[in-house]
Amino acid sequence: MSFTEALESAARAAAERVNINEGDYIGEDGLLHCASCHKNKQTKIVIGGKERVVYCICDCREAELAAEKAAEAERERRTRIAGLRSACFSERAMEKWSFENDNGCNPKLTAAMERYVENFGEYKSRGKGLLLCGSCGTGKTYAACEVANALIDRGVSVKVTNFSRVLNELQGTYDRQGYLDALNAHSLLVIDDLGVERGTDFAREQVFNVIDGRYRTGLPMIITTNLSLSEINKAPDAESRRIYDRILERCHPISVNGASHRRQRVRNEYEATRLRLGL
């Protein structure tokens, strides 16, 4: 394609992007002008020594095109986020466990999770995660999912799972290393309920492989457990100690105390049902 042909092709492309609207007018320069912004929709250029009139984009059309581009980028962002959220959670309810829906029962913990999200870039570079430990129903899993959802909203890849599910899936695959590599492809790995998995040799070995694999990637993880920090520090056997040592090196421990939110919610539901039934 010659230079002249290239210019003519560009001119035709510009014409296709120009909207001719009612009220557009010919100005004193003999060229088409926009009825709204009054800027040129035509201009004169010289191609091959000959002056030609070609279409160009006025300010209004340029703004429209920018808005269309921004809208398309936003649609792509939302699609990506929806995909990240779907890949993250195995339980759809967790997709709603966010800071916006937090019930405010543990504001100190929630604030700590928000700060972790705000500084995630730094924590990721250091491979620093969190260990949320405490009794059942105190909001550990919800807090971890708050972090996951907030990071996903920022386009960060997160995976939330638990060791019981991991062990079941590992038993059902021949490519165990591929499975572990897939877990470690995420910027943050959240593992729920450490310590409730079966205490078999296979289970302990696979738990170690998951933790050690993540440890070696240098990427952060958040782990929740019903074990107390004292129980973790006083692991009864060498296998548990080598797992917990790696966790404590990479995860800052946070004790999550207080009454069980789950039990309180159940009591509230029981009472509401009792009243509806007139009992």
Mean predicted confidence (pLDDT) in 141-158? 97
pTM to 2 decimal places: 0.76
Residue 267 has pLDDT above 90, yes or no: no
Q: Supply the pLDDT for residue 133.
A: 94
**Separation CA 205–CA 187 (nearest Å):** 24
In the CATH scheme, what is the homologous superfamily, with its name and number, of domain 89-265? Answer: P-loop containing nucleotide triphosphate hydrolases (3.40.50.300)
| 58 three-state secondary structure | coil
Strand pairing category for 42-47 and 25-26? unpaired
Q: Supply the pLDDT for residue 198.
A: 58
Q: Quickly state the pLDDT bin for 270 (edges 50, 70, 90).
A: low
In terms of Cα–Cα distance, which of 207, 179, 176 is closest to 194?
207
Lookup: tokens for 260: 């069980």
Lookup: tokens for 96: 């709603």
Contact 243, 208 (CB under 8 A): yes
Q: Supply the pLDDT for residue 137.
A: 81
| Least confident segment among 184-193, 197-206, 212-221, 250-259 | 197-206
Residue 2 has pLDDT above 60, yes or no: yes
Q: Supply the pLDDT for residue 21.
A: 87
Q: Quickly state the pLDDT bin for 217 (edges 50, 70, 90).
A: very high
Q: Supply the pLDDT for residue 15.
A: 55
| 277 three-state secondary structure | helix
Q: Supply the pLDDT for residue 276.
A: 72
Contact 123, 219 (CB under 8 A): no
**Domain range annotation of the chain:** 1-87, 89-265
Lookup: tokens for 146: 């708050």
Q: How far apart are the first and last CA of the chain?
A: 87
Q: 187: Cβ–Cβ under 8 A, 6 or more apart, which residues?
A: 124, 151, 156, 157, 158, 219, 220
pLDDT averaged over the chain?
87
Residue 87 has pLDDT above 70, yes or no: yes
Q: Quickly state the pLDDT bin for 271 (edges 50, 70, 90).
A: low
Contact 42, 53 (CB under 8 A): yes
Q: What is the pLDDT of residues 27-67, one digit of tens each?
A: 999 999 999 999 999 998 887 788 888 888 899 988 989 99
Q: What is the pLDDT of residues 118-135, one digit of tens each?
A: 999 999 999 999 999 998
Q: Which helix (H) or strand (E) holds 107?
A: helix 107-118
Residue 166 has pLDDT above 70, yes or no: yes
Contact 114, 151 (CB under 8 A): no
Q: Quickly state the pLDDT bin for 200 (edges 50, 70, 90).
A: confident
